[in-house]
């Protein structure tokens, strides 16, 4: 399942409804916003994984961050803790507030949704993104099992999309390259 689909369908669509309700918009509008904001976030994840510490930091965050709660309990998204967590995620993925503003501005241009709303929504979408990725790792079992399955039938899975840095269809060479960088 794609990350976008996992977020959109979480809790039977309740996560999207919660997000929409927070900003007095229809769920369809919230879905448009998420679909416009998500590519920048996943691009940030992929970029960070290219650094020596990036893969380890991502895997640690996915295992220990308890981010799945943002998809399992949509009401968590409105809490200040979730917004702070999302802002921290944005800092890691996009690097600066200027980059976050640029992402929101581009999404506003593409959707017609007010840029101010998208700026406020972005930390929540960042938290949901990590929640979706965490859920994917959990569904695949322990991290070691998830990584070992990437060379087989899971070549189209979420983690393989991020780990296949050279897009050759095999993640084994990329995982080995990341492991060498970490050592």
Cα dihedral sign, 171-176-180-183: positive
Is residue 148 a part of any domain in this protein?
no
Mean predicted confidence (pLDDT) in 151-156 = 35
Q: Is the pLDDT of residue 98 over 60?
A: yes
Which residue is listed with tokens 């322990």? Answer: 142
Specify if 157 maps to a domain: no
Tens digit of each residue's pLDDT (9 = 90 or more) over 22-44: 999 999 999 999 989 988 988 88
Q: For the chain, what is the mean pLDDT?
A: 75
**99 secondary structure, DSSP code:** H
CA separation for the pair 85, 164 (Å, rounded)? 27
pLDDT at residue 163, as a whole number? 47
Quote the Cα angle for 133-137-138, to 5°.
Answer: 115
Q: Of residues 155 and 45, which shows the higher confidence score?
A: 45
Mean pLDDT for the stretch of residues 45-56: 75
Q: Name the range with the highest mean pLDDT among 62-66, 86-90, 170-174.
A: 86-90
pLDDT at 144 (0 to 100): 42
Closest among 123, 85, 83, 88 to 103, alpha carbons compared: 123
Q: 79 and 34 in contact (C-beta within 8 Å)?
A: no
Q: Count of domains in the chain?
A: 1
In a domain, 168, yes or no: no
- At 123, list the tokens: 């930390």
The pTM of this model reads 0.73
Give a yes or no: residue 170 inside a domain.
no
Q: Helical H runs in the chain? A: 3-9, 14-22, 27-49, 54-64, 69-72, 80-94, 97-111, 115-139, 143-149, 158-163, 172-182
pLDDT value at 175 more than 70: no
Instruction: Report yes or no on 149 lying in a domain.
Output: no
| 116 contact partners, CB below 8 Å, separation of at least 6 | none
Determine the pLDDT at residue 147.
40
pLDDT at position 99: 92
pLDDT at 84: 92
Position 133 scores a pLDDT of 83
* pLDDT cut 90: percent of the chain above it: 27
Instruction: Determine whether 9 is exposed, middle or buried from the number of CB atoms within 10 Å of its CB (0-12, 13-18, 19+).
Output: middle
Q: Is residue 135 in some structural domain?
A: yes
pLDDT greater than 80 at residue 89: yes
Residue 117 in domain: yes
Contact 65, 134 (CB under 8 A): yes
Residue ranges making up the domain that contains 80 = 3-140
Q: Which residue has the tokens 């897009």?
A: 167
- Please indicate, yes or no, if residue 27 is contained in any of the structural domains: yes
């Amino acid at each position: 399942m794609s990350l976008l689909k996992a977020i959109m369908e979480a809790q039977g669509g309740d996560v999207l409804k919660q997000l929409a309700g927070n900003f007095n918009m229809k769920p369809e509008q919230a879905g448009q916003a998420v679909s416009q904001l998500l590519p920048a976030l996943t691009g940030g994840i992929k970029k960070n994984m290219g650094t020596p510490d990036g893969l380890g930091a991502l895997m640690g965050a996915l295992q220990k961050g308890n981010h799945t709660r943002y998809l399992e309990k949509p009401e968590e998204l409105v809490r200040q803790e979730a917004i702070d967590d999302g802002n921290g995620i944005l800092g890691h993925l996009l690097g600066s507030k200027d980059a976050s503003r640029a992402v929101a501005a581009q999404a506003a241009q593409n959707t017609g949704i007010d840029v101010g709303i998208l700026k406020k929504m972005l930390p929540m979408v960042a938290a949901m993104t990590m929640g979706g990725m965490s859920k994917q790792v959990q569904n695949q079992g322990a991290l070691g099992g998830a990584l070992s399955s990437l060379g087989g039938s899971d070549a189209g899975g979420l983690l393989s999309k991020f780990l296949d840095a050279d897009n050759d269809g095999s993640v084994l060479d990329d995982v080995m390259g990341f492991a060498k960088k970490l050592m």
